[in-house]
Amino acid sequence: MRRLAWAAALLGAALAAMVAGAWIAASRHDLSGLETRVPRRTALMAERAAQAAREGRRVRVDHRPVPYARISPILRRAVLVAEDDAFFAHGGLDWNEIQASVRRNVEARRVVRGGSTITQQLAKNLWLGSARTPWRKAEEMFLALRLERALSKRRIFELYLNCIEWGDGIYGAEAAARRHFGVAAADLSPRQAVLLAAVIVNPRRYSPTTPSPRVERRARLIAARLHRRGVLDEAGLRAARGEAPRPAPPAYAAPDTAAAVAPRDSAAPGETPPAAPPP
């Protein structure tokens, strides 16, 4: 019994020391300047560059920060649905998601669900890289709390969208849109937006231009959620799924109703007839 008490005390002391050390480590990172600029180089970029050098590869880094307004609203909503649905409601840590992740990982006996919020992911990208250790997780959580105190939600999300990895050497929404689809981030179609959101889970393994069955399923799930929330109408949902638009019904009027319909749908002499509504 006494041994168990000592073991528990030692474990508690070790955890307390780890938490204190993580808090101190998180406190040394500089947040100044994040309100007005997007970092040109992050810890994740440096880690990927070092990894490529060890493998004898040369990777061209493509990072093109743009203002929040120049990122497709559909992409913004798709990323929230895919990565952190409660982003605008929590304070940097989503305790419900953390509990669900712990249960899932314990059941699987390995890490299968991260539980990190967008704020935590931003902290990891900016300062910590991709390493997964209890120490790094604790530091990531403290950094997320610091970011939430220092910046607005919109600014945190803007930084995230401009720094997130979207392929080998591709960082941020603008570079991703240009490299993968040849368009600006502001001009992404619903289909392109949900595919980009779907590959965030592992952007170096999955491609938005040649989606695997898993990516396709995830993209369709994201599109369905956007449709339920009114972000996409029926036509937008079909477009996001990569489906052909529904054909328009034939436009004709029965002889006995033509006269009643004519005043609204017909044009006066010399006028251009009104265009049919889009399908």
pLDDT at residue 266, rounded to an integer: 36
What is the pLDDT at residue 104? 72
For residues 221 and 223, what is the distance between their CA atoms, to the nearest angstrom?
5
Q: Is residue 125 part of a domain?
A: yes
Residue type, 200: I
Q: The whole model's pTM is what?
A: 0.80
Q: Residue 3's pLDDT is what?
A: 60
The parent domain of residue 79 ranges over 19-29+42-241
Residue 171 parent element (H or E): strand 170-171
CATH of the domain at 24: 1.10.3810.10
Amino acid at 214: R
Q: Are 59 and 49 in contact (CB under 8 A)?
A: yes
The reply to whether 247 falls in a domain is no
What integer pLDDT is reported at residue 250 of this predicted model? Answer: 66
Element (H, E) at 63: strand 62-63
Q: How far apart are CA 163 and CA 48, in angstroms?
A: 13
For residue 36, the SS3 value is coil
Is residue 173, in this structure, part of any structural domain at all?
A: yes
Residue 185 lies in a domain: yes
Q: Which residue is listed with tokens 């929404």?
A: 173
Tokens standing for residue 116: 């990190």
pLDDT value of residue 155: 98
| Single-letter residue type at 119 | T
Indicate the number of domains in the chain.
Answer: 1
Q: Which residue's entry shows tokens 């009027």?
A: 253
Q: Which residues contact 278 (CB under 8 A, 6 or more apart)?
A: 235
Give a yes or no: residue 205 inside a domain: yes
Indicate whether 62 belongs to any domain.
yes
- The pLDDT profile of the chain, 279 residues, written as one tens digit per residue, is 666 555 444 444 444 444 444 444 445 678 989 999 999 999 999 999 999 999 999 999 999 999 999 999 999 999 999 999 999 999 999 988 888 877 776 677 666 556 799 999 999 999 999 988 888 999 999 999 999 999 999 999 999 999 999 999 999 999 999 999 999 999 999 999 999 999 999 999 999 999 999 999 999 999 999 999 999 999 999 999 998 777 766 655 444 443 333 333 334 344 344 344 334
Q: In a 10 Å sphere around its CB, with 0-12 CB exposed, 13-18 middle and 19+ buried, how is residue 74 labelled?
A: buried
Q: How far apart are the two ends of the chain, measured CA to CA in Å?
A: 74
Smallest CA-to-CA distance from 214 within 194, 199, 196, 236 is with 199
In this prediction, residue 6 carries a pLDDT of: 53
Residue 262 counted as domain residue: no
Q: Is residue 263 part of a domain?
A: no
Spatial distance between the Cα atoms of 158 and 165, rounded to a whole number of angstroms = 14
Q: What is the pLDDT of residue 279?
A: 40
